[in-house]
Structure 1
């Protein structure tokens, strides 16, 4: 099974922490929709006969599109690819775009999963992040969306400056009160060239602290697991049967095509990415060219990616797969590098699968990087 990701590079305003590719000008929105359709057509042969199991609208803010625009993009995927009978079709959306009428229209469209960018239920947090919605809109849209959609995920951000564990717990409990079956939660990170970075440098905002984020992370795990959620990936929690099929496919190394400016693709051996510039993207597509760069992944690259994604998930890293796909030298290296983390109880091996322990989950990315191999090939 494969997936189609469609990047919608527009936002009403720039969140202070965001470093994704987007424009706050909507002038080229109609041209962009047409270009996305053209790119879908240009790439129709890349999957061969493989079925598309997921269609994911990310961004940016996909909910700035009209429901009709979303529909024509879905139609283009169906016209050019072999889509499975019941695909997961996800739309990332912001609360301020989800009024009652829009939610009802979406519920009557092929979209069957909403991923709503709540981030916080506290007004002061939303203002600090420069979110386009307020706390009342966050709650109102969830009240309506849960009436029309069974499969809803919401995003929360932890590690906010000056946020106590008690306040963070309130955020989590408020999310749970709406009965959503999936929650994605991320630590507030300070990326280069973002407004948040500048605000911290000017001492307008206090820098987030790792120890606060780690405490929030543990509160999050405890509260969600207590309420029947499975912590199936570092940042993702789902009720049984509600894991994100789209994201799970990424972590399990399945193929996907990224449509739109800055979108990435992966075919098992190569990774490619489109130019992160709306004007240049539009120009290239209008000339029937794909404005992308391609990187051929070495065996070591693929091993490193498997370690990184595997340790973030409940499926872990299969030692048998490492030996079969990469060879004995890779396996021996992995086992040797893992020893200190097994001894410190950050990693464990059960049934020939290497996974992070509860103690090691928050540190999984750092641990994975220490297991990377740089020079075997």
Structure 2
């Protein structure tokens, strides 16, 4: 099984926290659409016959493109890869793009899952992040999509923002729960150097929250959402039964995927490849970087992706794929974390309890084959 990811790099406004491959030069949207179709043609053999089951439009802001243009890319991919109706077809949307007309046109496509970039239901927090919608607009966008018949909706939230925890975070969570969407992604703010918040931090005008605040806010998100019936199935993802993100789950389980667009990554099971071009270069001639994974790399990726999920990793699978010695090493290295309760072992599986997933990076690093 495999997935196809389309990276749409355009944004009307650059968010203060974002360091993804993106541009505010919307004049390139039409030529880049043609370049996406050309790259699809050029890479039609990449997946080696694996059946495509999910497609995902990410960004950037895919909802800047007309729904018909997005469907055109799906139709082209179908002709090249021979799949039927996808199991899941997601498009990331900004709330202010989801007008009644836009939502109605989306309903006429095969797109069946909307990922709505809310981030917060507090207007002051949205202004800090340089988002182009208000809390009221975000609520209206979700309700509009629901009235149009979209059931499989997810909203993104960000926590760990200095000055916007406590009661402000609680109100955002309460509003999210009132909207009753089946999936919520909640990310801790990471301040990257080459962003507005990164530059403000370097000048001493902003900064990250301390570790204690991170832990309290992570716990507040976890407790609020799990109490409301959401499964905390990955570090940053919560879903009601039957609504886990299928496309993203393929990344975590090591399935092949094809990335189309500037900055998009691909994986064929042995090699990771990425498009290193900015939008203008991509239109002219895409350039790529690649990395062939060693057995050690593949083992470390198995540990890294598996321990970010509720299922964790299987020692039997590790032994089968990487050797009995590797499985024994994992058991040995897991010892201190098992004793501390940060890891648990159930039959042949090691997993991090969902409530402790904030420290997953430390556990994963300890279990890496260095």
Q: TM (normalized to structure 1)?
A: 0.95
Equivalent-residue separation in structure 2 for 1:322 and 1:203 (angstroms): 46
8 Å Cα contact 1:91/1:114 also seen in 2: yes
* 1:174 equivalent in structure 2: 175
Task: Name which of structure 1's ranges 47-56 and 340-349 shifts more when overlaid on structure 2.
Answer: 47-56
My pick for the range that moved more, 77-86 or 23-32, is: 77-86
Query: Which has the higher mean CA deviation after the structures are superposed, 158-167 or 363-372?
Result: 158-167
Q: Could you state the TM-score of these two structures normalised by the residue count of structure 2?
A: 0.97
What's the CA shift for 1:86? 3.9
Select between 73-82 and 27-36 the one with higher mean Cα deviation. 73-82
Q: Contact 2:53/2:83 (CA < 8 Å) preserved in 1?
A: yes
**Equivalent residues, number:** 369
Distance 1:294 1:163 in 2: 40
Which runs of 4 or more aligned residues in structure 1 lie more than 4 Å from their structure 2 counterparts after TM superposition?
A: none
The farther-off stretch of 263-272 and 132-141 is 132-141
Any stretches of 5+ residues in structure 2 without a counterpart? Answer: none
The 8 Å contact of residues 50 and 82 in structure 1, kept in 2 or not, is answered as no
Shift of 1:49: 2.9
Residue in structure 2 matched with residue 288 of structure 1 by the alignment: none
**8 Å contact 1:21–1:276 — kept in the other structure?**
no
Tell me, yes or no, if the aligned pair for 2:125 and 2:164 is still in contact at 8 Å.
no
Instruction: Assess if the C-alpha contact under 8 Å between 2:219 and 2:355 holds in 1.
Output: no
Query: Any conservation in 2 of the 1:5–1:259 contact (CA below 8 Å)?
Result: yes
C-alpha separation in 1, matches of 2:24 and 2:311: 39
Report the 3-state secondary structure (helix = DSSP H, G, I; strand = E; otherwise coil) of the residue aligned with 1:27.
helix
Structure 2 counterpart of 1:208: 209
User: Given that residues 153 and 183 in structure 1 are in contact (C-alpha distance below 8 angstroms), is that contact kept between their aligned partners in structure 2?
Assistant: yes
Task: Give, in whole Å, the separation in 2 of the partners of 1:13 and 1:300.
Answer: 41
Q: 2:56 aligns to what SS in structure 1?
A: strand
Worse overlay, 159-168 or 291-300: 159-168
CA distance in 1, matches of 2:355, 2:226: 15
Q: How does 1:279-294 map to 2 (within 5 A)?
A: 279-285=280-286, 291-294=287-290
1:318 and 1:84, CA in 2 relative to 1: closer, same or farther beyond 3 A? farther
User: Within the alignment, does 1:346 sit opposite 2:342 as a pair?
Assistant: yes
Gaps of 5+ in 1: 286-290
The answer (yes or no) to whether the contact 2:18–2:195 under 8 Å persists in 1 is yes
Provide the alpha-carbon RMSD of the alignment: 1.2
The answer on 1:136 being equivalent to 2:132 is: no
**Residue number in structure 2 paired with 1:156:** 157
Q: Is the 8 A contact 1:116 1:155 kept in 2?
A: yes
